Amino acid sequence: SQQGEEDPQALSIQEGENATMNCSYKTSINNLQWYRQNSGRGLVHLILIRSNEREKHSGRLRVTLDTSKKSSSLLITASRAADTASYFCATLKETSGSRLTFGEGTQLTVNP
Amino acid sequence: NAGVMQNPRHLVRRRGQEARLRCSPMKGHSHVYWYRQLPEEGLKFMVYLQKENIIDESGMPKERFSAEFPKEGPSILRIQQVVRGDSAAYFCASSPWGANYGYTFGSGTRLTVV
């Protein structure tokens, strides 16, 4: 298994519903970041949470981090069709923290 | 600020040819990262560079692949003697202070080897 695994692999919801995506990792981290990728485009940085933080908010996004379980979740509230994209978590390892390691992503589809 | 600029957006090469992918980081960003993405997969780290230095190339294949970030000009990812398995999207990202503060990504170069 790789550092940073998202769950579920795919998620389909109706507009207005909340979407929750999870990320698990294996080694101690310095921080964890979430990115969004629209089809065929580059990734866009959404939010960063440091290892000493438990929760962060940014607009309709809420990220939690549980370092004891080595897991994070991304919640998108009141989803919109425009939220349809792939979402990736990325970790900066504590020991070899020169670059981010990305997971395989969750494909979110928000149906109008 | 034009963001991270990658060119070309699409590149088609025949097997055995060379591919040169260019990345101009955001103004003021001195850290550049290259990642490769296969269809329906996540991003796989290739190399991390600062001006004139390769910091971490642990994700680069030992043969045919090289990268540079000269004092002047864009970062270049070079793939010699391309094979079909090199077909992928190659993304460049930059940051001002390293990975601790997040990356800004370019739109990628889609390499197709025929």
pLDDT tens digits for A61-108? 999 999 999 999 999 999 999 999 999 999 998 776 678 999 999 999
Distance from CA of B109 to the nearest CA of A (A): 10
Amino acid at A103: G
Which residues is A88 bridged to in the sheet?
Answer: A35
pLDDT > 90? residue A4: no
3-class SS of residue B77: strand
What DSSP state is assigned to residue B26?
Answer: P
The pLDDT mean for chain A works out to 92
Quick check: A46 pLDDT over 50?
yes
Provide the token pair at B39.
């269809």
* Per-residue pLDDT at A93: 86
Interface residue A8 vs chain B (CB under 8 A): no
Task: Specify the pLDDT at position B41.
Answer: 82
> What is the predicted pLDDT for the residue at A97?
63
Contact A100 B106 (CB under 8 A): no
**A97/B100 Cβ within 8 A:** yes
**Residue A2 clears pLDDT 50, i.e. is over it:** no
* Residue A3 confidence (pLDDT) above 60: no
* Token reading at A18: 């909340």
Q: Is B104 in the A-facing interface, judged by CB distances under 8 Å?
A: yes
Q: What is the pLDDT of residue B99?
A: 81
pLDDT score, position B111: 98
Q: Which amino acid belongs to residue A108?
A: L
- Among residues A99, A46, A2, the alpha carbon closest in space to that of B93 is found at A99
Q: What's the pLDDT score for residue A1?
A: 34
Sequence-separated (6 or more) residues with CB below 8 Å from residue B73: none
Q: What is the pLDDT of residue A96?
A: 64
Question: Could you report the per-residue pLDDT of B79-109, keeping only the tens digit for each?
Answer: 999 999 999 999 999 999 888 888 999 999 9
User: Is pLDDT of B15 > 60?
Assistant: yes
- E-assigned strands of chain A? 5-7, 10-14, 19-24, 29-37, 43-50, 55-58, 61-66, 71-76, 85-93, 100-102, 106-111
Nearest of B75, B78, B15, B73 to residue B49 by alpha carbon: B75
Q: Which DSSP state fits B62?
A: S
Query: What confidence tens digit (pLDDT) does each residue in B21-73 have?
Result: 999 999 989 999 999 998 878 899 999 999 889 999 999 999 999 999 999 99
The confidence score (pLDDT) of residue B1 equals: 55
Q: Do residues A63 and B66 make contact, with C-beta atoms less than 8 angstroms apart?
A: no
A45 touches chain B (CB under 8 A): yes
Single-letter amino acid code for the residue at A1: S
Find the distance separating the first CA and the last CA of chain A, reported in whole Å: 35
Q: Quote the tokens at residue A5.
A: 């695994």
Question: Which two tokens mark B88?
Answer: 């992928």
pLDDT in tens, A75-87: 999 999 999 999 9
